[in-house]
Amino acid sequence: MTTSTIKITGDGGDEIEAYLARPAETDRRGGVVVIHHMPGYDRATKEIVRRFAELGYDAICPNLYWREAPGAAPDDAAATARAQGGVPDDRLVGDVAGAAAYLRGLDTANGRVGVIGYCSGGRQSVLAACRLDLDAAVDCYGAFVTGTPPEGMPMRRNLVEELPNLRTPLLGLFGADDKYPGPEQVAELRDILAAHGKDFEEHTYDEAGHAFFAVDRPAYRVAAANDGWERIAAFYGKHLAG
Amino acid sequence: MCTYETVCLCVDGSGKGPGGSWLRVTDATVYFDHPVHAMADHTLNIDFTDPAKGPAARIALELTAESARRLVAAIQEALDAVPAELTR
């Protein structure tokens, strides 16, 4: 495996930083775009990128906060981006498109690219899959894909109007104890996608809440995370094989 | 979940930051969301910054909700305990 920090072309032609991990083998394979969570383009997210390379994919994570805080520590960059209003949806889509194009341009690419995101990135993964030419999407407990933000909370809008345009199979991984998204929001997502004939695989884990994949946080739940990783490997194995 | 909610305000003061150096702070953001370091799912986070000096010019706090409420009360108590003319 090799890893590197590179520059890619993101939304609007902007040059942004990205973290890339690639298996050493030279066979053709799919790619995975990892969308980092709101706390940033951090060490834990880079570990996830490397895990996808270990699973046999070229994997990349664009630094969504590069424009606001180039070269800053991940936590400082996240704070800076947050103070400036966060990542606009359209810009996110453009950055994921740039990352996917980079993966498809690699000499090992089979042309198939998946996307995955955690927490806020889960919602962004679904958004990207509604608007971009991708091949598989994974939503790990993204809030407000469906559901209504609490009154008075200036939340990003939900994706209900976008869901009929979902262009990839979707794997959703959720915690039964999570409130955002809670079981009723997951059920709404399931119902909408079923009504539109979309390919949706969902797993909700008991004794797990939000962020159960996060190994460096108290929310980590080893059983749910281990099973979730197996589901992700199987899902991408099915949809990203070349 | 990520709450997205962020309260921003201008402040005037100083804080001791990375490397033991003091920093004049001009801005603060307050939000309840996932912490970077604290062992809690969500915390009340305060960033004191000087944006003119870049993203690293930041003094960050991550407090549990209960700690944050006690801090609010303590700040009010401290302000109330001194003659009003000192705090105008």
State whether residue A139 sits within 8 Å of chain B by CB: no
pLDDT tens for B28-64 read 999 999 999 999 989 999 999 999 999 999 999 999 9
Give the pairing type, strands A136-140 and A109-118.
parallel
C-beta neighbour count of A44 within 10 angstroms: 17
Token pair for residue B22?
A: 């003091």
Could you tell me which residues are beta bridge partners of residue A16?
Answer: A8
Using the Cβ of B31 and the Cβ atoms of chain A, whether some distance falls under 8 Å is answered with yes
Collect all residues of chain B within an 8 Å Cβ-Cβ radius of residue A68. 55
Q: Structural domain boundaries of chain A?
A: 2-239
Give the other-Cβ count within 10 Å of A161's Cβ. Answer: 9
Which ipTM score applies to this complex?
A: 0.84
**B41: chain A residues, CB-CB within 8 Å:** 209-211, 217-219
Give the per-residue pLDDT at A233: 98
Q: Indicate the residue of B4, B47, B56 with minimum beta-carbon distance to A73.
A: B56
B58 touches chain A (CB under 8 A): yes
Query: In this predicted structure, which of A27-36, A128-137, B8-17, B65-74 has the lowest mean pLDDT?
Result: B8-17
Q: What is the pLDDT of residues A57-80, one digit of tens each?
A: 999 999 999 999 999 999 999 999
Q: Please give the DSSP secondary-structure letter assigned to residue A38.
A: T
Mean pLDDT score of chain B, rounded to an integer? 92
The per-residue pLDDT for B82 is 93
Residue A216 annotated as catalytic: no
The yes-or-no verdict on residue A154 having pLDDT over 60 is: no
pLDDT at A156: 64
A210 catalytic? Reply is: yes
Average pLDDT, chain A: 95
User: What pLDDT does A242 receive?
Assistant: 75
Confidence of residue A151 (pLDDT cuts 50, 70, 90): low
Written as one letter, the residue type at A189 is L
Q: What is the per-residue pLDDT for A85?
A: 87
* Residue A239 annotated in active site: no
| Domain A2-239: assigned CATH number | 3.40.50.1820
Contact B80, B56 (CB under 8 A): no
Question: Cβ atoms within 10 A of the Cβ of A164, count?
Answer: 13
Q: Which of A79, A85, A218 sits opposite B41 (nearest CB)?
A: A218
Flag whether residue A175 sits within 8 Å of chain B, measured between CB atoms: no
Q: What is the pLDDT of residue B8?
A: 85
Q: Quick check: A182 and A155 in contact, CB under 8 A?
A: no
B6 touches chain A (CB under 8 A): yes
Q: Do B4 and A156 touch (CB under 8 A)?
A: yes
Share of chain A above pLDDT 90, in %: 92
Which tens digit of pLDDT belongs to each residue from A176-231? 999 999 999 999 999 999 999 999 999 999 999 999 999 999 999 999 999 999 99
Quote the CA–CA distance of A65 and A198 in Å, as a whole number: 32
